[in-house]
Amino acid sequence: MVHREMAEFGHDQVTYALEDDVGLRAIVAIHDTTLGPALGGTRLLPYETEDEALQDVLRLSRAMTYKAAAAELDLGGGKAVIVAEPDAKDEATMRAYGRIVDRLDGQYVTSVDVNTTVADMDVVAEETDHVVGTSDGLGDPSPVTARGVVAGIRACVEATYGSDGLDDRTVLVQGLGKVGSRLAKRLLEAGAAVKVSDVDPAAVASFTDGRDVEAVAHGDVYDEPCDVFAPCAVGGVVDDETIPRLECDVVAGAANNVLAERRHAEALRERGILYAPDYVINAGGLITVATEYAGDTRADALEAADRIGDRLLALIERADGRGTTVLDAADAYARERIETATEPTPSPAET
């Protein structure tokens, strides 16, 4: 079964790890290393079944290949999952996991993800050199991610309205977590009219206090008029039920897997709504750890995040020229980078 799933997703390698003495159950998936080592975070969740964990790690690692390739990074895609309750995580578990990563001999480089922290990566780093996102690294990637999303929103606004200025645009930010709250602040600084929403009323109250922003009830976000809808919380929010309700011209946010299904990119296009592929616009986190892996500085990461806008605008123009969705254009560009890895790779604006 695993080999069939690997063939379907195009994976190079899947490693199962079990160390009963410390309660470690993990899966490391390496999707592709054509462009470089497979880099991707370690997610820790209490998956109900082994198949659920496998499907998640296969899907996420494949997405990392496309994210790295589309971001013009010389890295492949990988991901790892640890099957455990978050409160059951301890140093022994993370040390054992570090040894698993080390045995992959640099084919996979890990970092933080859901329910793993910088402190966890510090423990992993005691067992392997193939880890980034430690306390000795470049720090919290969320400001870099937010900066890249702003650059991407500007690109979408330029493509839609003819200018990248935000001072006469309304942006609705769904989700006020680490990235969403920073994004909303940056948008305010850029002059945008900002609306915010979150499942946690306390988060909304805290953010709106002293700021000229409008709060939108969690259940009303899809019906709220705005120029740009920026999902920054959970994925799968754009689906058959929400697409007809959207009152925006652009969907561009920091959340992963915004579309419930791939076909929803075309459904948005049919409605005249521009969709910025999540793995293109939210690549700031990957850029941060990739910059750390390369030994460069946080300033380098911020500059690279700013280039997300130019890259996205080129992909939008490419999609328009080919009559496809921007998601199709991004996927095609990522595949071209991988397929022509031994040749000089043109930017999307040149293809």
What pLDDT, on the 0 to 100 scale, is given for residue 256? 87
**Class for the domain spanning 2-124:** alpha beta
What pLDDT, on the 0 to 100 scale, is given for residue 10? 76
Give dist(CA 331, CA 61) in Å, integer.
Answer: 15
pLDDT surpasses 70 at 177 = yes
Residue in 319, 303, 278, 306 with CA at minimum distance from that of residue 70: 278
Cα radius of gyration rounded to whole Å, the chain? 20
What pLDDT, on the 0 to 100 scale, is given for residue 193? 98
pLDDT surpasses 90 at 234 = no
Pairing of strands 13-19, 24-32: antiparallel
Catalytic residue (one of 67, 79, 89, 195): 79
Phi, psi (5° rounding) for residue 168?
-120, 25
pLDDT surpasses 70 at 285 = yes
What pLDDT, on the 0 to 100 scale, is given for residue 350? 53
Return the percentage of the chain with pLDDT > 70, whole number.
95
What pLDDT, on the 0 to 100 scale, is given for residue 342? 54
Q: Report pLDDT digits (tens) over 332-344.
A: 999 999 998 755 4
What pLDDT, on the 0 to 100 scale, is given for residue 257? 87
The tokens describing 244, both together, are 């007809």
- Sheet with 76-83, strands from edge to edge, namely 13-19, 24-32, 76-83, 38-45, 108-111
CATH topology of domain 142-283+317-330: Rossmann fold (3.40.50)
Question: 172 with 224: CB under 8 angstroms?
Answer: yes
What pLDDT, on the 0 to 100 scale, is given for residue 2? 73
- The reply to whether 79 belongs to the active site is yes
pLDDT band at 1 (very low <50, low <70, confident <90, very high): low
pLDDT surpasses 80 at 198 = yes
How much is the average pLDDT of 138-146?
90
Return the percentage of the chain with pLDDT > 90, whole number.
87
Give dist(CA 155, CA 165) in Å, integer.
Answer: 10
The chain-wide mean pLDDT, for the chain, equals 93
pLDDT surpasses 60 at 123 = yes
What pLDDT, on the 0 to 100 scale, is given for residue 345? 45
Domain edges within the chain: 2-124, 142-283+317-330
